[in-house]
Structure formats: structure tokens, C-alpha cells
Amino acid sequence: MRIPAWKRWLVAVVCVVAVLALVPNFLSRETVDRLPDFLPKNHVVLGLDLQGGSQLLLEVDAKAVVKDRLEQLVGEVRAALRPAQIGYRGLGVQGEAVVLTLTDPSKLDQALSELAKINPLLPAAGFGAGSIRELEIEGRNDGRIHIALSERARAERIGAAVTQALEVVRRRIDELGTREASIQRQGVDRILVQVPGERNPEAIKRLLGKTARLTFHMVAMEVDPAEVRAGRGPAGVMLVESAERSGSREWVLYRQVELSGENLVDAQATFQNNEPVVSFRFDSQGARKFARITQENVGKLFAIVLDDKVISAPRIREPILGGSGIISGSFTTETANELAVLLRAGALPAPLTVIEERTVGPDLGADSIRAGVIASIVALVAVIVFMVLYYGLFGVIADLALLLNLVLIVAAMSLLGATLTLPGIAGIVLTMGMAVDSNVLIFERIHEEVRTGRTPLSALETGFDEALRTIVDANLTTLIAGAVLFQFGTGPIKGFAVTLVIGVITTMFTAVTVTRIMVAAWYWRARPAQLAV
């Protein structure tokens, strides 16, 4: 029962660090900020179920990402085959592929070699991946060609779209001035948005529900919409609905994108003639293009299209050289503001869908905290009293270890910035019950050793040593289960796993070192002739 000095120091240092780590939880944010830098400043983060807030799980529309690329590809195919003078018909997107049929099937080989030029190798990633191309091009003898994205190109494109969407979502939510929102990627094509304190997620959902793809097109004024609808319109035009709710007017626009939202550097909601409007400014490249377009097309209509709807189509009265302009439409102050935010934050690469939503009001959160705290205190007091009544002095030692254990759990959670959820509180309470188990194992083992006739000192030493093996094996199995939970769990399960895993580790530490040091200290002072465990 001699404890080496380094072990006592270790325990002392851990205790000091734990107490320091605990402190920020009880101070206001301002006070914490004023603390010297070497002190830990993190605190336990309360989960949304405790502090109230909204959680949205968004899914990036992967099909739309692929479709976008395929539509782009149609243009590339056209451009590749034209110089070689290869005739074809039926070029278009079908499902997840671009298809076309050669008018002269004997030119298949020539067509395939032209198409190979627009099929680059993908940059190597990992081993032996250097030979994968973006497209899988198959030609049949009857002249039909089928072009699809390769598996890897598809995955990379979707991955890039999610990364970009993540950034846009972050910017949009930042624009709202929402504090402490957490935005994370989840799985392949998901984005998890957590906004504490948000009662009504409608505003956020509205903001994230828009792709905000802004394009500018010339209006094909000479074409009759009815012709286009009937499929008899000239090539290179499209029919686009008006955004205005009243009068579902349709516009015929040239497909060619003259300018797009990517060229915008700023957008603000302002007023013009007492009407809410959105003013915008192009970057230098955009400004040059805008100047050229407005110079060449004075008197014509210029359509501003947002998410495939025409917001407005003003007549160009004079060349606009300054690179800034105004979008007017039937805006309210609120919608003008929203559009400005969307334009500033940029377009999403693909639409997002909310596939899961959880909102907890702050009242319910507060109720849960109160219930959790009361339950924890009752559980703690019950266990403490029971242990003292049952084990006497050794019970007091076990209780001190238990209290220290709790301090360590909260301290570890603070340092890691871990999230405390309601199931997490349950995990802590459960740990209390199980933490006592380690001490029970030790005490019962000592009791047995005393009964076999060992001296007190020998019984204590054997008891601790023999119990240690059991404690390690038993706790490691629990640790395995906890780690799996953490790895595969989401939301409440993860919160529970965090406290369980931390609790198991701190329990092993306190049972193996702290209890032993206290028992040793008592033994060398009291030097009992016999043990009553």
C-alpha cells in the first residue's frame, strides 16, 4: 500500500486541471474572455434538446447535380461533332445519360474519337486511379451513342456540390445574423444545420429552400410564345414563367446566358419610387459585359431570371456603363431583403430538401434541464447515503471518488467542448451507479481476502490488485459498446455515448488511483489491527 510519488502527483495535477476546466462553466462569457490565455476557456455545450433550438437535415439533390452536368455536356457534344461534320439526331438528356443517334452509322468510329477529346482523365486519387475518365461513352453499330458520367466522376461532382452548398448555406445563415449556428456535412449528400435558440425555423427554411441561381437573358421579342409551346419555335429559345403570382405570363427568352449571379459582387435592398427594389453591382468582368450588352441592345427587353422564373424584364433605355443595376419586381420589403441576402451569399449548386426537422422550444429545454438536474442530485444523494450506510468509512472514500469522478466527467466534456444532451444526463446518472461498482468490486475483494485470514495490509494490497484486473476487463467491454454507439449513433445516441465513454474512462482512473491513495493514506495513519470492510 505504498503509493509511488509520481502517482500522487499525477492525481494532484489531474484534479487541478479538472477544477480549472470546470470553472468556465460557472462564469459569464465576458469574465471568461478576460481570463489569461493559459487557462482553459471551453465550456460544456448544451444540446438543442436542453437549450432549445432548431435542427434541420438537408439533402443536396444529387440528381440535379448530375442533370446539370449532362445538360452542359449536350452543348459540348454539339461543339465536338460540328467541326468534323458528323450528322446526328435526337441529341439530348435521357435519364442519367446523354444520347444521340448518328445519321450515318458508318461514322461511328470517327464520332467516338471526336468525343474522346472531350473526355479528360480524372486526376489520380489513391492507388491506380489514374486511368479513370470522366465519361463512359458507348457506341452501338446502329449509330446510337450513349454517354454517362463514370461512377467516380459522379461521386466527385456530387461531393464538390455538397462542399459548395455547405459554404453557401453557411453564408446565408451568417447573413441572417443567427448566432452560433452549427453547419456540418453528414454522410455523402447531407448537411446538418443546428441553430440554437431559434424558435421558428421557417425563415431559415425559406432562405435555404431557394437555389438562387440568377441569370440574365435577352428576351426573344419577335417569337410568339404559343409557337414555342407547340414545339415549333426556332432553336436556341426557351419558355420561362413569370415569377409574379398574378397572371401566369410566359416569356420567350434566348437560352444563351448573357450574365449570371457569379459576376455579382454586392446586392442590397433599397427603395426606388417608394417601391422596394434590389440594387446590385457587377465585378469588373461582369460590368464590361453588361456595358456591351446594354450598348448593343438599346430598346430591347432584358430578362432577369431567378431559379427558372422571370423576376422582371425591363426595357434597356440607355447603355449602363457603371456596372450596377436594379431589380424591380413586385417585392415587399421583406422579399427584397431576402433576395439581396440570397444574391450576396451566392447560388446553391443544386436544390436542397429538408428531410428531417426538430425544433425544441426554450421552455421545454429549461424544463428538461430542471428535471435532469433534480434527478441527478437525487440519484447522487441516494447513492452517497447508501454507500456510507453500507460501507462506513470505506463508503465515504468511495463517495469522494464518485464526486471527483463527476468533476472529471464535466471537466473532460468542457475541455473537449462535448455536447450535453438529455440522454447524456441519463448517461452521467448511469455512470454514477456504475462508478460505484469499481469500488464495490475492490471492497468486496478486500472483504474476501480478510476472511481468508490475511493481515489488513496484505488484504488491502491483494484486494486492490485482484479487483483491478476485473475492473479493467469489465470496463473495457463497456467502453467498446460505448465507442460503437458513438461511431454509429446520431443525435441523442451520440450524446449518450459521449458521457458513457468519458464516464468509463474517468471511473477507471478514480477507482484505480484515487481510491487507492485515500485508502493507503487512511491505513498508514490508523494502522488498524483488523479490517471491517
Partner 1 sequence: MRVLPRIVPDGTNFPFFRYRHWAFAASVVVIVAAIVMMLVRGFNLGIDFAGGILLEVKTPGPARLAEMRTTLGGLGLGEVALQEAGSSDLVLIRVVRQPGDESAQQAAIEKIKQALDQSFGPGLDYRRAEFVGPKVGEELRRAGTLAVVIALVLVLVYLWFRFEWQFGVGAILACVHDVFAVLLVFTVSDLEFNLSSIAAILTVVGYSLNDTVVVFDRVRENLRRYKTLPIDQLIDKSVNETLARTVMTTATTLLALLALYLFGGPVIQGFVFAMLFGILVGTYSTTYIAAPVLYYLKLRPAALAAGESAPRPG
Tell me the closest approach of the beta carbon of residue 250 to partner 1, in angstroms: 24
User: Binding to partner 1 by residue 532, rule CB under 8 A?
Assistant: yes
Q: Which of residues 492-531 bind partner 1 (CB under 8 A)?
A: 492-493, 496-497, 500
Tell me the closest approach of the beta carbon of residue 382 to partner 1, in angstroms: 5
Q: Which of residues 240-279 bind partner 1 (CB under 8 A)?
A: none
Q: Which of residues 49-68 bind partner 1 (CB under 8 A)?
A: 49, 57, 59
Contact (Cβ atoms closer than 8 angstroms) between residue 439 and residue 512? no
CA angle 402, 47, 405 (to 5 degrees): 10
Helix H or strand E encompassing 371: helix 362-391
Q: Which is nearer to partner 1, 322 or 361 (CB)?
A: 361
Q: Which residues contact 266 (CB under 8 A, 6 or more apart)?
A: 280, 281, 344
User: Binding to partner 1 by residue 203, rule CB under 8 A?
Assistant: no
Cell of 530: 483488523
User: Binding to partner 1 by residue 197, rule CB under 8 A?
Assistant: no
For the residues of 274-316, what is the DSSP string, one character each? TEEEEEEEE-HHHHHHHHHHHHHTTTSBEEEEETTEEEE--B-
Q: Which is nearer to partner 1, 9 or 390 (CB)?
A: 390
402 φ, ψ (degrees, to nearest 5)? -65, -45
- Taking residues 459 to 498 in sequence order and writing x for each that binds partner 1 by CB under 8 A, - otherwise, the string is -------x--xx--xxxxxx-xxx-xx-xxxxxxx--xx-
Q: Which is nearer to partner 1, 106 or 452 (CB)?
A: 452
- Residue 212: C-alpha distances to residues 172, 208, 249, 260, 333 (Å): 11, 9, 21, 11, 18
Tell me the closest approach of the beta carbon of residue 483 to partner 1, in angstroms: 8
Contact (Cβ atoms closer than 8 angstroms) between residue 435 and residue 503? yes
User: Binding to partner 1 by residue 444, rule CB under 8 A?
Assistant: yes
Which segment (159-167, 210-218, 235-243, 444-452) binds partner 1 by CB under 8 A? 444-452
For 287-294, the CB contacts below 8 A with 24+ separation are 287/321, 287/322, 287/323, 287/324, 288/323, 289/258, 289/259, 289/263, 290/259, 290/320, 290/323, 290/325, 291/319, 291/320, 291/321, 291/323, 293/216, 293/218, 293/258, 293/259, 294/318, 294/319, 294/320, 294/321
Among 355, 417, 455, 524, binds partner 1 (CB under 8 A): 355
Sheet holding 302-306, edge to edge: 250-254, 237-242, 309-312, 302-306, 214-218, 259-260
Q: Which is nearer to partner 1, 134 or 449 (CB)?
A: 449
Tell me the closest approach of the beta carbon of residue 240 to partner 1, in angstroms: 23
Tell me the closest approach of the beta carbon of residue 450 to partner 1, in angstroms: 10
List the one residue out of 313, 315, 302 whose CA is nearest residue 256. 302
Provide the pairing of β-strand 237-242 with 309-312: parallel
Contact (Cβ atoms closer than 8 angstroms) between residue 336 and residue 199? no
Among 162, 320, 425, 517, binds partner 1 (CB under 8 A): 425
CB atoms within 10 A of CB 432: 21
Angstrom distance (rounded) from CA 266 to CA 204: 21
Q: Which is nearer to partner 1, 98 or 432 (CB)?
A: 432
- Taking residues 4 to 43 in sequence order and writing x for each that binds partner 1 by CB under 8 A, - otherwise, the string is ----------------------------------------
Angstrom distance (rounded) from CA 337 to CA 435: 55
Among 111, 305, 426, 459, binds partner 1 (CB under 8 A): 426
Q: Which is nearer to partner 1, 323 or 395 (CB)?
A: 395
User: Binding to partner 1 by residue 184, rule CB under 8 A?
Assistant: no
Q: Which is nearer to partner 1, 32 or 407 (CB)?
A: 407
Q: Which is nearer to partner 1, 255 or 451 (CB)?
A: 451
DSSP 219: B
Residue type, 361: G
Tell me the closest approach of the beta carbon of residue 61 to partner 1, in angstroms: 11
Q: Which of residues 367-386 bind partner 1 (CB under 8 A)?
A: 367-368, 370-372, 374-376, 378-379, 382-383, 386
User: Binding to partner 1 by residue 360, rule CB under 8 A?
Assistant: yes
DSSP 86: -
- Taking residues 304 to 343 in sequence order and writing x for each that binds partner 1 by CB under 8 A, - otherwise, the string is ----------------------------------------
Angstrom distance (rounded) from CA 137 to CA 229: 33
Tell me the closest approach of the beta carbon of residue 389 to partner 1, in angstroms: 4
Q: Which is nearer to partner 1, 19 or 364 (CB)?
A: 364
User: Binding to partner 1 by residue 404, rule CB under 8 A?
Assistant: no
User: Binding to partner 1 by residue 348, rule CB under 8 A?
Assistant: no
Among 79, 203, 270, 390, binds partner 1 (CB under 8 A): 390
Q: How far apart are the first and last CA of the chain?
A: 16
Tell me the closest approach of the beta carbon of residue 409 to partner 1, in angstroms: 14
Q: Which is nearer to partner 1, 236 or 528 (CB)?
A: 528
List the one residue out of 250, 247, 246, 249 whose CA is nearest residue 238. 250
Tell me the closest approach of the beta carbon of residue 353 to partner 1, in angstroms: 5
| Number of residues this chain uses to bind partner 1 (CB under 8 A) | 80
Q: Phi-psi bin for 136: left (phi > 0), alpha (psi -120 to 50), beta? A: beta
